[in-house]
Amino acid sequence: MSIQRFSLPGYAHLYRSLFRFTDMNSREVKELVYLLNTANLDSYRFANPQEYVIESGPVAFSRLMDRMYRRPYRTEVQLYKALAALKHSIIRDAVTDRQREAVARMRCIMRDLEFHFFLTFGMDIDDVRTVYAECSFSLVPEEGEPSVCLMHDWIMLPTA
């Protein structure tokens, strides 16, 4: 299993996006993103014991999230795919109970995104008719990722 270690700018994108697309307040989002960051780093260390990994403390991490401006993801599809990438890079046996709770919260957010997407569009968020396949499996979106949720709408955009 290949565990991807995500960058702090990626977590800044995630922080801004969770704040945008959920009803969580800033403190809740920072705490969740910090715990997911440490869970990812602990999982990376677990999978790669020869690697040296530096971890920020909660206060420094919180300040970085405030100071490091990264735009939020444009769509819920991008947020969902970023959360899927993060979920894939966390090993349950490598994390603490608090980190497991954060992962459980992340899964709830993903289920909420799936549910609302289905209610809005009548299809699964990872359906081939969505832009899911066009979004990167990472926390940092690539240049040119879709700004709409459905493939048909993206193809019809003049800049696509």
Q: For residue range 52-110, what is the model confidence (pLDDT) as tens digits?
A: 888 889 999 999 999 998 999 999 999 999 999 999 999 999 999 999 999 999 999 99
Q: Residue 119: its pLDDT value, please?
A: 97
Look up the domain containing 91 and give its range.
Answer: 8-156
**In a domain? residue 90:** yes
Does residue 3 lie within any of the structural domains?
no
* Gap between the terminal Cα atoms of the chain: 34
Residue 2, in any domain of the structure: no
CA distance 160 to 155: 6
What would the two tokens of residue 38 be?
A: 């440490």
Phi, psi (rounded to 5 degrees) for 130: -100, 175
pLDDT of residue 158: 73
The per-residue pLDDT for 23 is 94
Backbone conformation region of residue 48, classed left if phi is above 0, alpha if psi is from -120 to 50, else beta = beta
Q: Is residue 1 part of a domain?
A: no
- Residue 152: pLDDT band (50, 70, 90) is confident
Is the pLDDT higher at 152 or at 79? 79
Overall domain count for the chain:
1
Note whether 103 and 32 are within 8 A (CB).
no
